[in-house]
Amino acid sequence: MNQETIKNIIQFSKDRDWDQFHTGDNLAKGLSIEASEVLELFLWQDNPTSIDELKDELADVLVYVTYLCDKYHFDMDEIVNQKMKKNALKYPIEKCFGKSTKYNKL
């Protein structure tokens, strides 16, 4: 996500004085709820009931992720890149290519 989008998300909350409600636990709960709403769109089917609703729910998830990163002063690019390095060690191409096996079972 680019920095301008992140700034817009954070400013949206500040303009409404919502930061007072953005405790770690509230944000984590909100993120979980929004992620569940993504999952709900796939209930009983392989494809979402609505692409527009899927976009809205994914946006909500990204907004909560942004608020959580802001709350704990995490740089999104940094934490994602760190995690991808860990994943590369856990899932080396030669062991996992074309497989969905969990790393501890490879």
State residue 106's pLDDT score: 85
Burial class (CB in 10 A: 0-12, 13-18, 19+), 20: exposed
Q: How far apart are CA 20 and CA 99, in angstroms?
A: 45
State residue 77's pLDDT score: 96
Question: Cβ of 69: how many Cβ atoms within 10 Å?
Answer: 19
Q: How far apart are CA 104 and CA 55, in angstroms?
A: 33
State residue 105's pLDDT score: 85
Helix (H) or strand (E) holding 69: helix 51-71
| Helices 51-71 & 3-15 angle (0-180, nearest 10) | 80
Q: How far apart are CA 22 and CA 50, in angstroms?
A: 29
Per-residue confidence in pLDDT tens, the chain, 106 aa: 999 999 999 999 999 999 999 999 999 999 999 999 999 999 999 999 999 999 999 999 999 999 999 999 999 999 999 999 999 999 999 999 999 998 888 8
